[in-house]
Amino acid sequence: MTAPPVKPEPRSWTALVRGRAVAALPPDKLLPDTQPVYVASWIYVFGVLTIAALLAVLASGGILALEGPAWYHTSVVGHFANSLHLWSVELFFFFMVVHLWGKFFMAAWRGKRALTWITGALAFVGSVGTAFTGYLVQTNFDSQWISTQAKDGLNSVGFGAWFNVMNTGQMLLWHVLLLPLVLGVLVVLHVLLVRRHGVVPPFDAGDGSAANEAIDAVASR
Partner 1 sequence: MTLTASRRPAASRPSKASRRAEGQPWRGPTRPYDLVKEFVIATVVVGMLVVALAALFGSPDEKALTLQGWAKAAPADFVTTTVTELDGSSPTAGYGPPYNHAAGGQQLGPLPLARWIGGYRIPVDTAADFVLNPLSQLPATPPLTAALQQWRAASSTQQQNWATAYDTAIGKAPDSDPAKAAAGDYGPVPALANAELSLAQAGGLDGALGRNAGFYASDYTLSLLFLQDGSYLADTSATQHLSGNQWGMMNETGSFPGQAWLWLYTFWYQISPFNHSGNGDALVWAVMAVLVLAFTFVPFLPGIRSLPRRLGVHRLIWRDWYSRNT
Task: List binders of partner 1 among 55-114 (CB under 8 A).
Answer: 55-56, 60, 72-73, 79-80, 82-88, 90-91, 93, 97, 102, 104-107, 109-114
Looking at beta carbons only, is 14 or 41 nearer to partner 1? 41
Whether residue 116 contacts residue 194, with contact meaning beta carbons closer than 8 Å, is answered with yes
Q: Within 155-184, which residues bind partner 1 (CB under 8 A)?
A: 155-162, 164, 166-170, 172
Residue 190 Cβ, how far from partner 1 at the closest point, in Å?
13
Looking at beta carbons only, is 1 or 217 nearer to partner 1? 217
Cα 127 off chain centre by: 9
Looking at beta carbons only, is 87 or 185 nearer to partner 1? 87
Residue 197 binds partner 1, judged by CB under 8 A: yes
CA-to-CA distance for 56 and 86, rounded, in angstroms?
A: 10
Q: Within 126-155, which residues bind partner 1 (CB under 8 A)?
A: 127-128, 131-132, 135, 138-150, 152-153, 155
Residue 178 CB neighbour total at 10 angstroms: 14
All residues at 6 or more sequence positions from 139 whose CB lies less than 8 Å from its CB, including other chains: 69, 70, 73, 168
Nearest alpha carbon to residue 53 among 85, 101, 98, 100? 85
Looking at beta carbons only, is 20 or 29 nearer to partner 1? 29
Residue 181 Cβ, how far from partner 1 at the closest point, in Å?
20
State the Cα angle at 204 between 33 and 30, rounded to 5°: 20
Residue 182 Cβ, how far from partner 1 at the closest point, in Å?
15
CA distances from 208 to 32, 122, 134, 194 (A): 17, 31, 45, 18
Residue 141 Cβ, how far from partner 1 at the closest point, in Å?
4
Residue 187 Cβ, how far from partner 1 at the closest point, in Å?
14
What 3-state class would DSSP assign to 196?
helix
Looking at beta carbons only, is 4 or 158 nearer to partner 1? 158
- Is 71 buried (19+), middle (13-18) or exposed (0-12) by CB count in 10 A? middle
